[in-house]
């Protein structure tokens, strides 16, 4: 049975959510009069209105209820926000829980700090409009949509105590990388890995279109996710429903993990996932200039964007912001203790999850001496050798030297054997959780090799794995690595920006091995020649 | 009720399939003794054994049964083979039906022609190992896996009489682009478009691993595809089952199309798709060197690859090839009339489908005079204008001028409005078939704008559309076009190779509009700056 949710918890949840909503909304619009202590005037409005409101209330909703789980179960939670354009929501929550002020001392939990926060969003020298390495708790920017889910699994591998919650936009769910990353549970070992809790944010709209998921019936959505291997549960915009769904999900995860950890793993476990329906721009402006705003794509970015010059828009924004009753949310300009009741403390704060600053957790990778793998020959031209089998031996020895640390993995698109790296299989296996038709001794739930025919999934897995302080290598035919060109650019930007923040200790490098290079691909022909990476 | 399949048809199917299997297998191994009229000797074996046997018998199985449909229903069928490494099978079928000899006169339907065919596969100056523009009937190479399904839909748009059959490998099905392309039916108009019949080739293995689909239960697979919106049907390695399934699929398609064309469209039509289970390397070597070959990943490429030097392998290959009884399949070295009974003629031959040589079908695109769209100004610095709204007007007029031709589409990742191209919506709509929660006048089943949040799907749609002789434009934020970098490289290689064949009349260009370029993306920040495309 699922824990019952108390009235106190529900009241808290609403209060917390409203607080985060106010902060996110205010951050998008206000450069002054942060608590609306005076009537709202054009000069209180920022000159350039950026950020994206539409997805924020949903993110806040998730954050509130994850806080409840974190506090009640002392559960370590890392949050990945697919729609990184909802940064204002994450920022609001990191301010509330105090993870932000660890690195931005001016973000104090008082009137001046609150003003600093609201003003700093999309402001010169302040924060940008999208999630970024400049805040703690973040291993995924969500600028280029599609990679949150795979990255979440990468973070969960070999982190048995971690719960990685992952918000997937229903727009984002249309991307190819997301559509196949759902299969990742088949590679997740409940005994030795953490869990991923995917939350599809079904707010119905993208930038200016309904999403595909919004045109599917509940039965179809359910069928889809059951097909992928999940146990989906629908949640509406209701705190009680959400709190119960979160409890249920947490319980399902615990059940699957306990069984596996007691040596009685559940076959083909049905991991929980949530399909959360909320109106886009929930709690925002209902209607403006005779057009529907809340529950429409018109909430996607900045509703009433002309509020600095248009009086009707300004009133609508003011009315909306006042609807949160800021004077009650922030008496004396500070967040009252009551709002913090179920906000976790210390490392349990989602924004302070240690795994997000993977460099701090990283242990030394023990490397074998490369000299040991030398191909010996007496005279040039007398010995025939190839490079990748030797690399295979080297990798095998990395695995031997690091066996107890569980922090090194090989990610390969079904090409390990083809790339002649299969010496590693003398020691480890390819990891797969579900039973196969025919027993293959080289496949087991414990393997260090991750093989899936999706370069996108591998790339997001390895990103999540490395950013949380581990090591990996991605061998691939040279011709097909350009598939992840754009992902790699985005990843490199994340690393480049991270270097700006001293508190982000560097993570390890992401290693590629390009095999079957252009001129060795005469046999497969032109389509297998693409030296662009 | 589904048409019954006659004994004659079944016998023919088996005979046809065996013929294609022999030809495909022989093409992989033999440089001589093509009909095994003498005992097989090492010098009859090609020096370098390329090509991929594993997927060939399944492709042949599909081809045989598509032939039956084409002949019986006079149905125009274009075939896309996801696993392009099964080229030997396509080649065999194009030889049998005679489409090959239209362009390769030496591929005569007699003993010398048969020898020419077998020898030419993976032979200097002959054919490569993968599908390529050097053969007719081909608009998709299938070298880089993942794009067949989306391309199939692109070919079907605005081709109401066409059936595009698409073989999707169960390995290929793991790729992101394929995993989301399934949603394409929601953009397919049964009144004005052709149909796509996806056939998942569930042969259980990839290069050296079981596929994910092979570890899913029938119930899960069914659930997945019902979730995507299809009516899936399982087919085993049995001619009767397959013939019935094909009849059923054809009938379902006809039903959906007739309803729509009579003005009574079925809401959310469940398009048929087949999940075809065959053993990998079906009908090939069962066991060799004490290892299972048929029904295993060991069939993926060239079973008994050491047959030029290893006697046991050579015997196994010989026994296998003789099991097809080549002397019966090719009396006097030619394919008997009986084997051709249900092989379609003329343009109904799959390899001769006119849509595959789109350049021949292409009609002139009527373009408006760009001068008409000039932004007039009296003195520099007096008028404010932007480029994309003007382009929007221009595109609108292209649509006006070509209204009756239905050969121009705009493919956009939910960014039409954001890119200020929405002038086109004064004339047309965004196309979507399924009902939306809220009526949006800019969305309808007839629109010329295709918006989906999947750059991969858009890229494969536009490729399929253009290669079949139509026109398209793909506007996108500059930052996110690198998502399709590798697809574009592969596409350009297809176009480059096509130019080598005079009979491949050029198709139109694939037009990109890069918007929100690097320095205009200050508001969305670093993640939205990626000028690499
Ligand atoms: C790969 C990619 N293509 C296009 C965009 C442009 N874009 C930004 S937000 C958005 C819509 C996202 O919708 P959804 O994921 O549902 O997020 P939400 O509605 O919660 O904001 C699009 C298409 C992008 N960020 N990434
Ligand atoms: C994107 C991509 N990654 C990797 C490969 C290498 N590769 C060639 S064939 C193959 C397995 C394909 O399996 P499947 O689609 O099931 O085809 P089949 O079993 O029918 O041969 C792989 C991984 C590729 N061609 N494309």
The model's pLDDT over B119-141, given as tens digits with 9 standing for 90+, comes to: 999 999 999 999 999 999 999 99
Label residue B526 by pLDDT band (50, 70, 90). Answer: confident
Which of B61, B84, B142, B207 best tests ligand 2's pocket when mutated (most atoms within 8 Å of CB)?
B207
Q: Please check whether residue A130 is in contact with residue A141, taking contact to mean a CB–CB distance below 8 angstroms.
A: yes
List CB contacts (< 8 A) between A525 and chain B.
Answer: 128-130, 132, 143
- Residues in chain A within 8 Å Cβ distance of B140: none
Distance CA A164, CA A153 (A): 8
Q: Residue A207 — pLDDT band, cuts 50, 70, 90? A: very high
Q: What is the pLDDT of residues B6-41, one digit of tens each?
A: 999 999 999 999 999 999 999 999 999 999 999 999
Ligand having the closest approach to the CA of B490: 2
**For residue A526, what pLDDT is reported?**
84
Please count the helices (runs of H) and the strands (runs of E) in chain B: 15, 13
The whole-number average pLDDT for the span A460-482 is 97
Scan for tokens 């690195």, then name that residue. A103
**Which of A24, A87, A145 has the most ligand 1 atoms within 8 A of CB, as the residue to mutate?**
A145
pLDDT category, B390, cuts 50, 70, 90? very high
3-state secondary structure of B43: helix
Second-level CATH architecture of A14-341: 3-Layer(aba) Sandwich (3.40)
* Beta carbons of B129 and A523 less than 8 Å apart: yes
Closest-CA residue to A453 (of A429, A433, A477, A489): A477
Contact B212 A186 (CB under 8 A): yes
Q: Where in chain B is the domain with CATH 3.40.50.970?
A: 7-352, 360-528
Give the ligand with the smallest distance to the CA of B282. 2
Q: Does B457 touch chain A (CB under 8 A)?
A: yes
Residue B492 touches chain A, beta carbons under 8 Å:
no
Q: Is A183 within 8 Å of B174 when comparing Cβ atoms?
A: yes
For the Cβ of A141 lying below 6 angstroms from any atom of ligand 1, the answer is no
B45 phi and psi, to 5 degrees? -90, 135
Question: A492 CB near a chain B CB, below 8 Å?
Answer: no
Q: Which residues contact A248 (CB under 8 A, 6 or more apart)?
A: A2, A233, A272
pLDDT-derived band of residue B524, with 50, 70 and 90 as boundaries? confident
Taking the C-alpha atoms of residue B411 and residue A57, their distance in angstroms, rounded to an integer, is 31
* Helix, strand, coil percent content, chain B, rounded in steps of 5: 45, 15, 40
Hey, is A103 helix, strand or coil?
Answer: helix
Q: For ligand 1, is residue A9 a contact (CB within 6 Å)?
A: no
Q: Which ligand is nearest to the CA of B177?
A: 2
Q: Are A261 and A194 in contact (CB under 8 A)?
A: no
Torsion, CA A336, CA A81, CA A494, CA A460, rounded to 10: 150
> Does the Cβ of A172 fall within 6 Å of ligand 1?
yes
- Can you tell me the distance from the alpha carbon of B445 to that of B431, in angstroms, rounded to the nearest whole number? 5
Over residues A254-273, the mean pLDDT reads 98
Give residue B3's pLDDT.
66
Q: What is the pLDDT of residue A367?
A: 97
CA A525 to chain B, closest CA, distance in angstroms equals: 6
Alpha carbons A172 and B27: distance in angstroms, whole number: 45
Taking the C-alpha atoms of A394, A396, A397 and A402 in order, what is their torsion angle to the nearest 10 degrees? 130
pLDDT at A428: 97
Minimum CA–CA partner of A434 in chain B = B215
Q: Cα–Cα distance between A200 and A515 in angstroms, integer?
A: 37
- pLDDT by residue (tens digit) across A118-155? 999 999 999 999 999 999 999 999 999 999 999 999 99
* Burial of A207 per CB tally in 10 Å (0-12, 13-18, 19+): buried
ipTM surpasses cut 0.90: yes
CA of A175 to the centre of ligand 1 (A): 10
d(CA A413, CA A403): 23
Per-residue pLDDT at B81 exceeds 70: yes
Which CATH number does B360-528 carry?
3.40.50.970
Residues of chain A with CATH 3.40.50.970: 14-341, 360-528
- Confidence category of residue A3, pLDDT binned at 50, 70, 90: low
CATH classification number, B7-352, choose in 1.20.930.40, 3.30.70.20, 3.40.1390.10, 3.40.50.970: 3.40.50.970
Between CA A373 and CA A381, with CA A378 as vertex, the angle to 5 degrees is 95
Per-residue pLDDT at B193: 98
Of the candidates B309, B55, B59, B68, the one whose C-alpha atom is nearest the C-alpha of residue B207 is B55
The closest alpha carbon to A494, from B320, B530, B14, belongs to B530
The predicted pLDDT at position B416 comes to: 95
Per-residue pLDDT tens over the stretch A356-386: 999 999 999 999 999 999 988 889 988 888 9
pLDDT at A476 over 60: yes
The length of chain A in residues reads 533
Of B432, B437, B525, the CB nearest to A129: B525
How many angstroms does the Cα of residue B208 sit away from the middle of ligand 2?
10
């Amino acid at each position: 049975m699922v824990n019952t949710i108390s009235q106190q918890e529900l009241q808290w949840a609403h209060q917390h959510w409203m607080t985060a909503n106010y902060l996110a909304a205010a951050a998008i619009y206000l450069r002054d009069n942060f608590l609306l202590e005076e009537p709202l005037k054009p000069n209180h409005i920022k000159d350039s209105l950026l950020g994206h409101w539409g997805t924020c209330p949903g993110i806040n909703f998730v954050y509130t209820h994850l806080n409840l789980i974190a506090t009640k179960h002392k559960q370590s939670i890392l949050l990945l926000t697919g729609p990184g354009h909802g940064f204002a929501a994450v920022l609001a929550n990191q301010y509330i829980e105090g993870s932000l002020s660890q690195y931005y001392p001016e973000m104090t939990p008082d009137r001046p700090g609150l003003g600093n926060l609201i003003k700093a969003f999309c402001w010169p020298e302040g924060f940008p409009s999208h999630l970024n390495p400049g805040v703690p708790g973040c291993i995924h920017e969500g600028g280029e949509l599609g990679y949150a889910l795979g990255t979440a699994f990468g973070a969960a591998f070999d982190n048995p105590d971690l719960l990685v919650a992952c918000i997937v936009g229903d727009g984002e769910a249309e991307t190819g990388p997301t559509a196949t990353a759902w299969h990742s549970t088949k590679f997740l070992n409940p005994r030795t890995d953490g869990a991923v809790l995917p939350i599809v944010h079904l707010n119905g709209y993208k930038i200016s279109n309904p999403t595909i998921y919004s045109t599917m019936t509940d039965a179809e959505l359910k069928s889809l996710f059951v097909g992928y291997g999940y146990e989906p549960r629908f949640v509406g915009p209701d705190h009680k429903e959400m709190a119960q769904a979160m409890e249920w999900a947490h319980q399902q995860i615990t059940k699957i993990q306990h069984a596996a950890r007691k040596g009685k793993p559940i076959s083909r476990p049905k991991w929980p996932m949530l399909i959360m329906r909320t109106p886009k721009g929930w709690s925002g402006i209902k209607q403006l200039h005779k057009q529907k705003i809340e529950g429409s794509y018109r909430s996607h970015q900045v509703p009433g964007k002309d509020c600095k010059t248009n009086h009707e828009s300004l009133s609508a924004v003011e009315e909306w912001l006042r609807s949160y009753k800021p004077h009650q949310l922030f008496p004396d300009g500070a967040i009252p203790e009551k709002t913090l009741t179920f906000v976790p403390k210390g490392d349990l704060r989602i924004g302070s999850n240690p795994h997000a600053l993977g460099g701090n957790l990283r242990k030394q990778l023990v490397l074998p001496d490369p000299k040991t793998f030398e191909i010996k020959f007496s005279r040039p031209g007398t010995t025939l050798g190839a490079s990748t089998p030797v690399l295979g031996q080297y990798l095998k020895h990395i695995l031997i030297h690091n066996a107890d640390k569980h922090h090194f993995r090989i990610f390969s698109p079904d090409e390990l054997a083809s790339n002649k790296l299969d010496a590693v299989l003398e020691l480890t296996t390819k990891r797969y959780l579900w039973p196969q038709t025919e027993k293959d001794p080289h496949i087991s739930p414990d393997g260090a090799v991750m093989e899936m025919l999706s370069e996108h999934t591998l790339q997001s897995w390895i990103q999540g794995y490395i950013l949380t302080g581990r090591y990996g290598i991605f061998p691939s035919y040279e011709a097909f690595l350009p598939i992840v060109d754009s992902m790699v650019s985005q990843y490199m930007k994340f690393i480049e920006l991270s270097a700006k923040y001293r508190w982000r200790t560097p993570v390890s490098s992401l290693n590629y091995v390009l095999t079957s290079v252009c001129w060795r691909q005469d046999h497969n022909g032109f389509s297998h020649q693409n030296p662009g990476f």
